[in-house]
Amino acid sequence: MPCFECTGPETKHQMTLPSAGRSKGGARAPCSHSWLHQLFYFYPHPQIWARKFLPVPWLLCGPRRYASSSFKAADLQLEMTREPHKKPDPSECLLFGKTFTDHMLMVEWNMEKGWGRPRIQPFQNLTLHPACSALHYSLQSFDKVELLECIRRLVEVDRDWVPDSAGTSLYVRPVLIGNEPSLGVGSPTHALLYVILCPVGAYFPGEALSPVSLLADPSFIRAWVGGVGDCKIGGNYGPTVFVQKEAKKKGCEQVLWLYGPDHELTEAGTMNIFVFWTHEDGALELVTPALDGIILPGVVRQSLLDLARTWGEFRVTERKMTMNEFLRALEHGRVREVFGSGTACQVCPVHRILYQGKFLHIPTMENGPELILRFYNELKMIQVRGACLETGWMLVPQRSSCPRSLWTEAPSLPPPHPHSPTSW
């Protein structure tokens, strides 16, 4: 079964909900893979992060002749568990992705009847035919706002599973698979959408901001122009497992993915990569690779860009970076901080890069790391305290019935300009 984390397109997550994905004429807006990417990437509550390894299809276009083109949250069925699981001890460390809540959201689809009624049911194993078409990614689309509401209700049901300890969160994992019992390659006639919740601790071992080292080997390529490297699908992750093992053999925690003859910096493991340095022209600059088709458009990436541009204290640039350019800056002492960003780790400092047989020391931790700490604290303020509530970054799922502070981020469409807000 494929697994991928959906991070959504380059969109501002601090938006209000759209009008249920409808156009002015009342017809359903055209489907696209970016819609589903938005849907699956925008679910962090202040203590709930939607991780990026989400099995989401990348082809959603298809005929609209199905009986039910979407499901409705109003039709949601609820079956409470009769055997609740023991909740984690708050004093013990939460391992990432090892503990699950009592309930899950399930919605079935088939070509003849369309989407069935969504239901929240006890957490349970899936029964799949051996020929299940889980590797097929051309599936029927649905109303993302309805799914968002269903997920909010799922979180409400399992709200007691939201951890209170520092550095913990409730991880939301939506999954969409084709489950037609057929070995043929093609669009399945049956599909299954489900959502599970996971109370988790830090993604990387150690403290929240422990630095990592990266293996930069141009012989390993994660994505290429014309491929699907900017989509969160299972096929983008399976091939990276071997490279990750090679990195660990050489004393590195993650991989710095390079691309092309110029060894362009693209990503760090499953994270977007950032470099904070003094440019050759003397300007202080935050640089991250542009979304050119091989970069995963992370929501935390966009969050950091938005925050930095709001501060207006240094130049913020989305462009290509090469290892030669980076090495020159490192040699001249212009590199201040290097870090990755993602929904699981938020921001992750980098202190060493193994490139061409030599470890390069990155002075990230010697510089505070001031910018990383600022980003980290700002994100925490937003997640836990709703610091940017007035800007529309958060949605409140029935505060009156939630003993804890539960929030979720709203899906949004790409802004007309990276510096301007999106309006619906």
Q: What is the pLDDT of residue 395?
A: 60
pLDDT tops 60 at residue 25:
no
- Of 14-23, 198-207, 337-346, 378-387, where does mean pLDDT reach its minimum? 14-23
Is the fold of 33-205+384-401 the same as that of 212-368? no
What's 33-205+384-401's CATH class? alpha beta
Long-range contacts of 286-290 (CB under 8 A, 24+ apart): 286/314, 286/315, 286/316, 286/317, 286/371, 287/317, 287/318, 287/319, 287/321, 288/317, 288/318, 289/264, 289/265, 289/318, 289/319, 289/320, 289/321, 290/318, 290/319, 290/320
Domain boundaries, the chain: 33-205+384-401, 212-368
What is the tens place of the pLDDT at every residue in 149-167?
A: 888 889 999 999 988 877 7
d(CA 30, CA 211): 43
Token pair, residue 293, equals 């088709």
Is the domain spanning 212-368 CATH 1.20.1070.10? The answer is no
Is the separation of the CB atoms in 284 and 314 below 8 Å?
A: yes
What is the tens place of the pLDDT at every residue in 66-102?
A: 356 778 888 888 999 999 998 888 878 888 778 899 9
Which residues are CB-contacts of 202 (< 8 A; sequence separation ≥ 6)?
96, 167, 208, 345
- Counting residues of the chain whose pLDDT is more than 70, the rounded percentage is 69
Token pair, residue 233, equals 């699908």
Q: What is the pLDDT of residue 75?
A: 87
What is the average pLDDT value for the chain, to the nearest integer?
76
Q: Report the range out of 152-166, 189-203, 238-252, 374-388 with the highest average pLDDT.
A: 238-252
Q: What is the pLDDT of residue 243?
A: 95
Q: How far is CA 194 from the centre of its chain?
A: 17
pLDDT tops 50 at residue 21:
no
pLDDT tops 80 at residue 263:
yes
